[in-house]
Amino acid sequence: MQGENKAANEAVKGRSDKRTRYLILSGSLLPVLLAGIISHVTANALGDLSEARIKESQWQLETIVSKCIDRLQDIALGTEARPAGLRPLIDRHLRVNPSKPDNREIFEWIEARRSSMSDFRHDKLDNLILEARKDYQRELAELQKIKKTYREHLESFYAGFWLRRNGYPRIDLTDRPNQQ
C-alpha cells in the first residue's frame, strides 16, 4: 500500500512539475509578447506622426507659394486673371537663398504683362517676394529636419525594423518638396 501511495505521489508531483514549468515559461513569454505588441503599435504611431508632419510641412510650402502669388497678383496685375506661367516662376524664385535675391525675372515678367509700374509698387513687390522667400526657406529647413529625423528612425535597428515591417515609408522622402 505504501508503494502504491509513493508511486501516486510521484505521479502527482511529476504533473505539478510540468505545470510549474509551463507557468514559468508562459510567465516569461508574456512580457516579451507585450513588449512586441507595444513596439509594433509605437512604430505605427511614429511612422504615422512623421508622415503627417511631412505632409503638413509640404502643404505649408504650397500655401506660402499660393499666398505670394495671390498678393503679387493683387499688387501688380490687379483684377486680371492669373497667368499660367506665374506659379512656376514664383516657385523657382522662392527656392533661392534669401541672402542672394534676384527678382529681375519676376519684374520683367510682370512688365511684359503690364505697361508701367510705380516705384512704390516695385518696392512693395520686392519686399513681398523677400518675405515669402524667407518664409519658404524657413519652412523648407523644417521639412528637411523632419525628413532627416524620420530617415534616422527608418535606419535605426529597432525602430527601423518595426517601421519597415509595417510598410513604412509610405511617402516619398526625396529632398524636393511636392510642388506642382
80/131: higher pLDDT: 131
Does residue 62 form part of some domain? yes
Listed in sequence order, the residues at least 6 apart from 107 whose beta carbon sits closer than 8 Å to its beta carbon are 117, 122, 125
- Residue 116, pLDDT score: 61
Listed in sequence order, the residues at least 6 apart from 160 whose beta carbon sits closer than 8 Å to its beta carbon are 153, 154
Size of the chain, expressed as the number of residues it contains: 180
Does residue 36 form part of some domain? yes
Report the mean per-residue pLDDT for the chain: 80
Does residue 180 form part of some domain? no
pTM for the whole structure = 0.72
Question: For the residues 113-135, what does the mean pLDDT come to?
Answer: 79
Does residue 179 form part of some domain? no
In whole angstroms, what separates CA 146 from the centre of its chain?
A: 6
Does residue 176 form part of some domain? no
- Residue 179, pLDDT score: 43
Shortest CA distance to 72 belongs to which of 57, 59, 92, 87?
87
Number of domains the chain is built from: 1
Question: For the residues 61-89, what does the mean pLDDT come to?
Answer: 80
Q: Kindly indicate the confidence band of residue 177, based on its pLDDT and cuts at 50, 70 and 90.
A: very low
Q: Which residue range forms the structural domain that includes residue 119? A: 2-165
Q: How many CA atoms are closer than 13 Å to the CA of 101, on its beta-carbon side?
A: 17
C-alpha cell at 31: 512580457
Does residue 173 form part of some domain? no
**HEC sequence for 121-145:** HHHHHHHHHHHHHHHHHHHHHHHHH
Shortest CA distance to 46 belongs to which of 35, 34, 58, 54?
54
Does residue 172 form part of some domain? no
Query: Does pLDDT of 167 surpass 80?
Result: yes
Does residue 61 form part of some domain? yes
